[in-house]
Structure 1
Amino acid sequence: MAIWWDKHMPTSGKTPLVFLASVLLNAAQAAVKLAAFIIVGSLALYAETLHSVGDVVNSFILYLASYIIVNKKPSPKYPFGFGRFPYIASIISISILVGAIANNILTQAYEALHEGGRLYGDVISGAYLLAIATFMDVGILLFIFMARDAWRNPSSKMRPLFMALILEDLFSFSGNAIALASLYMIGITSIADVIASIVIVAIIIMASAYVIYKNIEILIGRSAPRDVMLKVLNRISRISDVVDIDDLKSYVLTPDNIVIMATIGVDPRKSIDALEAL
């Protein structure tokens, strides 16, 4: 006995706009941080600029995923829909992008350590620009909060995407805070700037590793949540002709599509037609 469990949670056609707004705000952040880097010449600001570029790509993939969930339905040719495509695209793009960013920044940091010092520009202006970029992160969180009806339910198919966006934004906050601290410390020692850039690289790698891990977990397939399994078990047990439930297995195709297989025992006196009616 196989059961197709589809979580029919309400999703608004406007939900993808939250992710589109995130793409635009992250792009604006990257531009502002680039301006700050040009003014100051800080390696930490350079790292944060590339961090925001990575966030633009990740936000776009989340936007694509949300659009597919809302608009693309399963078809005879693609019975499971396109729900897994964004996870595959995310793994490929993050692996390439993060590898390039980390290599670039670490190379710059190595060279800076051996230069014995750097010349910095207007640190105050750079700090103001970085503060503006941080307020853009606040704007993204406000958009997420306004769309809370689409993701606050644990069973919402949009929840994994919003959780990824929230995580991305929190890591961006962390990177901004470290870059601001490095600007403050530049006047004391230029080594602080190099250390800050390396810490930002570590943040980028940790965030990316977590996202890739969650994506791989979905692609490999895990069992359904306990509450879903209990609902199915209760539903089967209420069928009067079922006398025993030998086995119950599940497989999560995507966060909103779950296949559940049950091995059940029935009254042997039942006819084939009666069993098919179950």
Structure 2
Amino acid sequence: MSANGGTKAIVAALLANVGIAVTKFIAFLLTGSSSMLAESIHSVADSGNQGLLLLGGKRAKREATPQHPFGYGRERYIYAFIVSIVLFSVGGLFALYEAYHKWHEGGGIEEYKAVPVVVLVVAIIMESFSFRTAIKESNHVRGNQSWVKFVRRAKAPELPVVLLEDLGALVGLVFALFGVSMTLITGDGVWDALGTAMIGVLLVAIAIILAIETKSLLLGEGAETHDVAAIEKAITEGPEVERIIHMKTLYLGPEELMVAAKIGVSARHSAEELARGINTVEARIRAAVPTARVIYLEPDIYSAAAASAGTGTAAHTAVPGSETEPGDVAGRAGG
């Protein structure tokens, strides 16, 4: 996923939310509408979330260290997970708390009655531009996937987070407009409380979805099926490797995939031929899947008899005059 596209969408959402938050809060001070207060806090939370995503993206670019030899790419997942917590607690739970009090206190909007409606309509227009930017940037990398699959399968968290936040913001604004309009028409503040509660439920639902998807990335996800197939083809399509004994993949960050595989090679290869062959295979893997930046290939001598006997996939006959196994003679190679 394009990091630049994600950053552009985040900045667009941040600028929109800062402006919207200020206008909503002014409208709340003038009218006392709980829906406007809930939406104000929602926009403040969203602004903070976009700041967290930008911070995570910046920190993820740090160079690898001895303590963190694979770098800091997954830090973007950590900040995306924090975003879900902020959205749940600051946005969703606060809205539900405010709805509860407004429901019991009642009271309509007595002054500046047109202000919240105007503010909400303007906010919907501004949020629509932010949402449009997120959609446009996502389409560059979404391919033929549905939107649901894109959110679930994306390895870079920024665009899915911004998409869900902007969608939630637009729907929340509609809920707020409904609550405020019905309160102005009926003079009953219960409608305002209902709109606030709807906003709270919406934000909690979005936060839970984000938390579930980001948790999966934090735990570690492997490559998609088509990328696994491309890597397997790249390994076996040349004469260097007889078969793949087993292989595992893991995303170290949104744009960095680790590939670790034990490969079956011919026992007739010299160490020099083996090393040259592994380098060739690594080059094919990177050409097939550019995100495969960390590759470990362990050569071994495959034994069908050992595999069928359940004693392992490598040959276990010791080399005469040696304490090592044939697979260990070649050793491990990778780049």
Scaled to the shorter chain, the TM-score interval is 0.7 to 0.9
Deviation at 1:150, TM superposition (A): 5.6
Q: What residue is the counterpart of 1:247 in the other structure?
A: 246
Q: What residue is the counterpart of 2:192 in the other structure?
A: 193
Q: What residue is the counterpart of 2:73 in the other structure?
A: 83
Q: What is the rounded CA distance, in whole Å, between the counterparts of 1:15 and 1:82 in structure 2? A: 18
Residues 248-270 of structure 1: CA distance to partner in whole angstroms, max 9, x if unpaired?
22112222111122222111222
Q: What residue is the counterpart of 1:24 in the other structure?
A: 15
Contact 1:16 1:67 in 2 (8 A): no
Q: What residue is the counterpart of 1:44 in the other structure?
A: 35
Q: What residue is the counterpart of 1:275 in the other structure?
A: 274
Residues 115-174 of structure 1: CA distance to partner in whole angstroms, max 9, x if unpaired?
24345433322101111111111221343366568644589x886422221221111000
Q: What residue is the counterpart of 2:159 in the other structure?
A: 162
Q: What is the rounded CA distance, in whole Å, between the counterparts of 1:180 and 1:262 in structure 2? A: 56
Q: What is the rounded CA distance, in whole Å, between the counterparts of 2:251 and 2:57 in structure 1? A: 18
Residues 215-238 of structure 1: CA distance to partner in whole angstroms, max 9, x if unpaired?
211110012111211111110111
Q: What is the rounded CA distance, in whole Å, between the counterparts of 1:15 and 1:224 in structure 2? A: 21
Contact 2:247 2:259 in 1 (8 A): yes
Q: What is the rounded CA distance, in whole Å, between the counterparts of 2:223 and 2:163 in structure 1? A: 23
Q: CA RMSD in A?
A: 2.9
Change (3 A) 1:167 1:152: same
One-letter code aligned to 2:176? A
Q: What is the rounded CA distance, in whole Å, between the counterparts of 1:10 and 1:141 in structure 2? A: 17
Aligned to 1:114, which of 104, 107, 113?
104
Contact 1:48 1:175 in 2 (8 A): yes
Structure of greater Rg: 2
Contact 2:138 2:159 in 1 (8 A): no
Change (3 A) 1:48 1:183: same
Change (3 A) 1:158 1:136: farther
One-letter code aligned to 1:75? A
Are 1:129 and 2:119 counterparts?
yes
Q: What residue is the counterpart of 2:256 in the other structure?
A: 257
Unaligned runs of 5+ in 1: 1-8
One-letter code aligned to 1:171? G
One-letter code aligned to 1:43? S
**Alignment coverage as a number of residue pairs:** 267
Q: What residue is the counterpart of 1:214 in the other structure?
A: 213
Deviation at 1:195, TM superposition (A): 1.4
Q: What residue is the counterpart of 1:175 in the other structure?
A: 172
Unaligned runs of 5+ in 2: 279-335
The alignment-based identity, stated in percent, is 25
Q: What is the rounded CA distance, in whole Å, between the counterparts of 2:41 and 2:89 in structure 1? A: 12
Deviation at 1:62, TM superposition (A): 2.4
